[in-house]
Amino acid sequence: SAVISQKPSRDICQRGTSLTIQCQVDSQVTMMFWYRQQPGQSLTLIATANQGSEATYESGFVIDKFPISRPNLTFSTLTVSNMSPEDSSIYLCSVDKNTEAFFGQGTRLTVV
Amino acid sequence: KQEVTQIPAALSVPEGENLVLNCSFTDSAIYNLQWFRQDPGKGLTSLLLIQSSQREQTSGRLNASLDKSSGRSTLYIAASQPGDSATYLCAVKFGSNMLTFGGGTRLMVKP
Query: Could you please report the per-residue DSSP string of A65-103?
Result: TS-EEEEETTEEEEEE-S--GGG-EEEEEEEEETTEEEE
Q: Do A45 and B41 touch (CB under 8 A)?
A: no
Which chain A residues touch B40 with a CB distance below 8 Å?
none
Contact partners, residue A108, CB within 8 Å, separation at least 6: A9, A10, A11, A90, B41
Candidates B46, B49, B104; nearest CB to A42: B104
Which positions in chain B touch A10 (Cβ < 8 Å)? 41
pLDDT at residue B97 is higher than 80:
no
Q: What is the pLDDT at residue A98?
A: 87
A61 by Cβ neighbours in 10 Å (0-12 / 13-18 / 19+) ranks as middle
CB within 8 Å: A104 and B43: yes
- The rounded distance, in Å, linking the Cα atoms of A90 and B38 is 12
Q: Is some CB atom of chain B closer than 8 A to the CB atom of A40?
A: no
Q: What phi, psi does A16 have (nearest 5°)?
A: 90, -15
User: Would the CA dihedral through A50, A7, A97, B22 be positive or negative?
Assistant: negative
Name the B residues in 47-76 with CB < 8 Å from any A CB: 49, 51
A57 has a chain B CB within 8 A of its CB: no
B97 touches chain A (CB under 8 A): yes
| pLDDT at residue B86 tops 70 | yes
Using CB atoms, pick whichever of B31, B44, B102 lies closest to residue A92: B44
Q: Is the pLDDT confidence value at B96 over 70? A: no
In Å, how far is A64's CA from the nearest CA of chain B?
22
Render B43-92 in DSSP notation, one character per residue: -EEEEEEEETT-SEEEETTEEEEEETTTTEEEEEE-S--GGG-EEEEEEE
Cβ-defined contact of A99 to B44 (cutoff 8 Å): no
- pLDDT tens for chain A, residues 1 to 112: 899 999 999 999 999 999 999 999 999 999 999 999 999 899 999 999 988 888 999 999 999 999 999 999 999 999 999 999 999 999 999 999 988 999 999 999 999 9
The model's confidence at residue B5, banded by pLDDT at 50, 70 and 90, is: very high
- Write out pLDDT tens, residues B27-84: 878 999 999 999 988 899 999 999 999 999 999 999 999 999 999 999 999 999 999 9
Q: How far is A23 from chain B (nearest CA, A)?
A: 13
Measured CA to CA in angstroms, residue A47 lies from A27, A53, A81, B23, B74 at distances of 20, 13, 15, 25, 29
Closest by CA to A104, choosing from B45, B98, B84, is B45
- Give, as one character, the DSSP assignment of residue A17: -
Return residues 65-84 of A near B (CB < 8 Å). none
Distance separating alpha carbons of residues A55 and A101, to the nearest angstrom: 19
Distance CA A95, CA B27 (A): 23
How high is the pLDDT of residue B29?
86
The Cα B63–Cα B56 span in angstroms is 7
